[in-house]
Structure 1
Amino acid sequence: MTTQTILPVESEALRALSESNNEPGWLTVQRLEALKLASELALPKLEKQKIERWNVSEYGTYKTSKALASLDDAPESIKKLVQDQNEGGLVIQRNSGNVYAKLSEELAAKGVIFTDLATAAREHENLVKPYLNTAVKADEHSIAALHAALWNGGVFLYVPENVEIEVPLQAVLLTDDASATFAPHVLVIADTNSSVTYVDNYVSSELSAPVFHSGVVEVIAKAGAKVRYATVHQMDTLVTDVSFRRAVLENDATIEWIVGEMNDGDTASNTMSVLKGNGSKSDSKVIAIGSGSQKNNYTTEARHFGKNTPSQMITRAVMREEASAIINGITKIEKGATKADGQQTEKVLMLSPKARGDANPILLIDEDDVTAGHAASVGQVNPEQVHYLMSRGINRTDAERLIIIGFLAPVVSDIPLEALRTQLQYLIERKLGQ
């Protein structure tokens, strides 16, 4: 069954916009086809969540973004995130487009490409065209289709064969104009036996009206490639954030997802690894804190097609006040994926009688010679633990804080990037109102 989707733009206006931005003809056609699909498709189905009640229509309109002459001209919300952290490369998007892109000369000399996706589509068609919208396809649902039609700015990262990048590459994506479309698309291509760490931050500031963030991430990891993808979303209550992240792994490729869901507004995210090749490996770590009346739906998936493919998924969420969270872990082992090993853990801690948490571990197995397991728990702060700490002279607020930090610590401490650990620890303190 499909539903009629009200389109935020007409096809001729979209064509004119694409042509005015000097986009290649194939991209214009792709956008128009996706827009047509959007009118025919239904919204995505979220487990135990009615996304049609969310603000998923405030797309705004495309607005030209003014380039930054230097980082000194960047808003404070960006400066505090990039200080001393952009030695390798930095891309900044503000609202509808790229405003800054820099890559070290050393990495450029090795053939690394790190720029905004809009520029890459014009200058590196041979790399962008074969992969864009192939991991997250436009025909999956109306939000995916509208994203394929309307994406702007974005990030493109290409790491050539056998190139190992030691320093993280970073991007900051900012929305601070509620009338501007904010729909970045990230495309990462790690060629054979390459290695890279990519970190991005999604932030908002000074918004005067609701914004819908429609985001897509596609990671293509060729044989033997190793990709570490870290992302932190910290947008305010006026932003509804719906993000789809997907990695496609060839033989012996590795993806490590590190996801910090620190938004204040309604959030839905799907982080999936497709273990296509033999020996491919996925490790996903998600931490989330909800507050106010925020509604959250976090899904982590691993789909095993190749043989000897291990996957691990760990999600830990803390819900405060009247916030709610649906945590879904899905391990799908396809027929023929012998020796696959899928493990998942979802835990939710509720700090208020009005907070809600729901953990849903799902194993879908079509092969006999495999290993799979799951663990899930939902509960409130243990009063005995609070009493014990208070009996040692610690007040109730600090006692609960220590318990919460201890609950999240197994995930945070396992993050190999010191700067990201520090940032997440700060955001945890802020979200907990400490």
Structure 2
Amino acid sequence: MSTPTTSFGREAAAAIARSKNEPAWLVAWREEAGDLTRTLELPKPEKTPLQRWNLDVQGTHRPGREVAAAADLPAPIASLLGTAADGAVIVQHNSSVIYTKLPEEWKAKGVVLSSLEDAARTHEELVRAHLMTAYERGEHKLSAMHGALWNGGAFLYVPRGVEIEVPVQALLYADDAEATFAPHILVIADANSRVTVVETASSSLGETDATLLHNGAVEVFAKAGAQVRYAAVHHMDSKAIDISYRRAVLENDARIEWIVGDLHEGNTVTDTLSVLKGNGSTSDAKIISVGTGSQRMSLTTRAVHFGRSSESDMITRAVMKDAATAIINGITKIEKGATKADGQQTEKVLMLSPKARGDANPILLIDEDDVKAGHAASVGQVNAEQVHYLMSRGIAKEEAERLIIYGFLDPVVSQIPLESVRELLHRILERKLG
């Protein structure tokens, strides 16, 4: 299906914003995004014909029912949270945030956690200075649609020098395929602060002919010396399309660590970018994905170096089954003036079926001489020698292959910083690889 989105524009964006009583500046901001949806084209990820996907499904505003306590959350959401509900939590159900919890001792330190919609009113200056400046409304049609329609979302601000030891969990859940599901997560970590965020995107759509479009975005701004760890696990129904753009902007000596499990059941486009703006900034990205059925996936990880002595490392590992297809791009760009920068990347794909396909494309773009850069890529089947070795130790062939696959994915799985999410990840992997 083509994706004209001609039925959407300035007036529709403004009408939705006004219906939610959003502040005047945000109504005007959404109007501008609505204008862009009419003129911009779809993004063009390599070998991924998005014009054939059913992307003209912006949905309608379907807010969930707000609750005051975790015990009152719908059962499917409560089961996903598990014991994590005891810490800092924000939950989006379809088109709105229904629950937020922030420990009092964190509030006393100046930490802010709220829906992005609320933050647009209560923290206008911070939101206006950062919102969609790393992931811009004018990038392409999907970013413009996101700017016009984002809903619920999460706003997390960590003040200067504050270190949060317990992960902040953001749960994004949809059970209505006709809802607008476009969360935007905005994280601002002030100078020398430290925080871990764990995002889970899940759905339970039941029997439906409708297509849910998750048009989501994450922006992380790590100020000088700040350290942010951002983990995400995406697993939605095959009736859902997962569009996820993640961006981090790093100032001097700041650090971002991405830990991503792209385990969605349907078609997927993800783009994870670290902009190493400051001197001494570092980015570490670990991405895993498992494709099954006839999934089509485009997974891009990027690092752009501007700062001197900046470092980036990217590891992507994918397992393809059945007739699934994955295009995996790793792009390291070192700009002129980023002396002593070091950019490394590795992409590896395991194919478990003759019909499965995985393309690994490492790309280095270097505009400075005094740097280090390297890449490695491999596409193949489970190593027969490893299987033989395990079988010689009395392990059945099927179990040996399973152990090798889990070992292949472990560099990411073991790094998920929340036990309940690690357990969820293991359950998803069992189901997808079983």
- Between the aligned partners of 1:87 and 1:282, the Cα distance in structure 2 is 30
Could you list the per-position Cα deviations for residues 8-40 of structure 1 after superposition, in whole angstroms to 9, with x for gaps in the alignment? Answer: 535333323212212111111110111111110
Q: Provide the rounded CA distance (Å) in 1 between the counterparts of 2:138 and 2:4.
A: 14
Partner Cα distance (1:25, 1:412) in 2: 43
Letter in 1 for 2:59: G
Pairwise CA distance, 1:89: 1.0
Q: Determine the C-alpha separation between the residues in 2 that align with 1:173 and 1:417.
A: 16
Query: Which residue of the partner structure matches residue 145 of structure 2?
Result: 146
Aligned 8 A contact 1:5 1:142 in 2: no
Alignment partners' CA distance in 2, 1:4 and 1:419: 38
Which residue does 1:169 correspond to in 2?
A: 168
Q: 1:174 to 1:413 in 2, by over 3 A?
A: closer
User: In structure 1, the residue corresponding to 2:28 is in which secondary structure?
Assistant: helix
Offset from partner CA, 1:120-151 (integer Å, 9 cap, x none): 11111011111101000011000000100010
Structure 1 residue ranges without an equivalent (≥5): none
Q: Report the equivalent of 1:197.
A: 196
After TM superposition, list the pairs within 5 Å mapping 1:317-336 onto structure 2.
317-336=318-337
RMSD: 1.6
Residue correspondences, number: 431
- For 1:243 and 1:110, the matched residues in 2 are separated by 31
Q: Secondary structure at the match of 1:376?
A: strand
8 Å CA contact 1:239–1:266 kept in 2: the answer is yes
Partner of 1:37: 36
1:360 is matched with 361
- Are the aligned partners of 1:77 and 1:203 in contact in 2 as well (CA < 8 Å)? no
Is contact 1:88–1:107 with CA below 8 Å preserved after alignment? no
| Partner Cα distance (1:410, 1:397) in 2 | 22
- Which deviates more, 318-327 or 329-338? 318-327
- 1:7 Cα deviation after fit: 3.7
- Equivalences for 1:413-428 in 2 at 5 Å? 413-415=414-416, 417-428=418-429
Q: Is the 8 A contact 2:10 2:32 kept in 1?
A: no
Q: Measure, in 1, the Cα distance between the counterparts of 2:17 and 2:132.
A: 17
Distance 2:411 2:162 in 1: 31
Aligned to 1:225: 226
Please say which of residues 76-85 and 169-178 is displaced more in the overlay.
76-85
Q: What's the offset of the Cα at 1:397?
A: 1.8
Q: How does 1:34-433 map to 2 (within 5 A)?
A: 34-207=33-206, 208=208, 209-415=210-416, 417-433=418-434
* CA distance in 1: counterparts of 2:86 and 2:163, whole angstroms: 15
Query: 1:313–1:382: structure 2 CA closer, same or farther, 3 Å change rule?
Result: same
Give 1:86 deviation, angstroms. Answer: 3.4
Q: Deviations over 1:257-301 (max 9, x none)?
A: 010111110111000000001111100000111111111111000
CA distance in 2, matches of 1:35, 1:370: 42
Q: Distance in 1 between matches of 2:205 and 2:143?
A: 27
Alpha-carbon deviation of 1:87? 3.6
Asked if 1 retains the 8 angstrom alpha-carbon contact of 2:231 and 2:417, the reply is: no
- Counterpart secondary structure, 1:85: helix
| Local SS of the residue matching 2:399 | helix
Q: Are 1:5 and 1:38, in contact at CA under 8 Å, matched by a contact in 2?
A: no
Structure 2: distance between partners of 1:165 and 1:415: 16
> Deviation string for 1:175-227 (max 9, x for gaps)?
10011100000100001111100111000003422111101111111111110
Q: How far apart are the structure 2 equivalents of 1:177 and 1:422?
A: 25
Amino acid at match of 1:32: E
Alpha-carbon separation, structure 2, partners of 1:363 and 1:13: 42
Could you tell me how far apart the structure 2 residues matched to 1:342 and 1:109 are?
39
Q: Residue by residue, what CA displacement relative to the aligned partner does 1:144-163 show, whole Å, maximum 9, x if unpaired? A: 00100010000100001111
Contact 1:116 1:155 in 2 (8 A): yes
Residue identity matched to 1:29:
A
CA distance in 1 between counterparts of 2:183 and 2:416 reads 25
C-alpha distance in structure 2 between counterparts of 1:8 and 1:283, whole Å = 41
- DSSP 3-state at the match of 2:83: coil
Q: Distance between the aligned counterparts of 2:150 and 2:429, measured in 1?
A: 30
Query: Aligned to 1:227, what secondary structure does the other structure show?
Result: strand
1:38/1:316 CA distance change after superposition, 3 Å: same
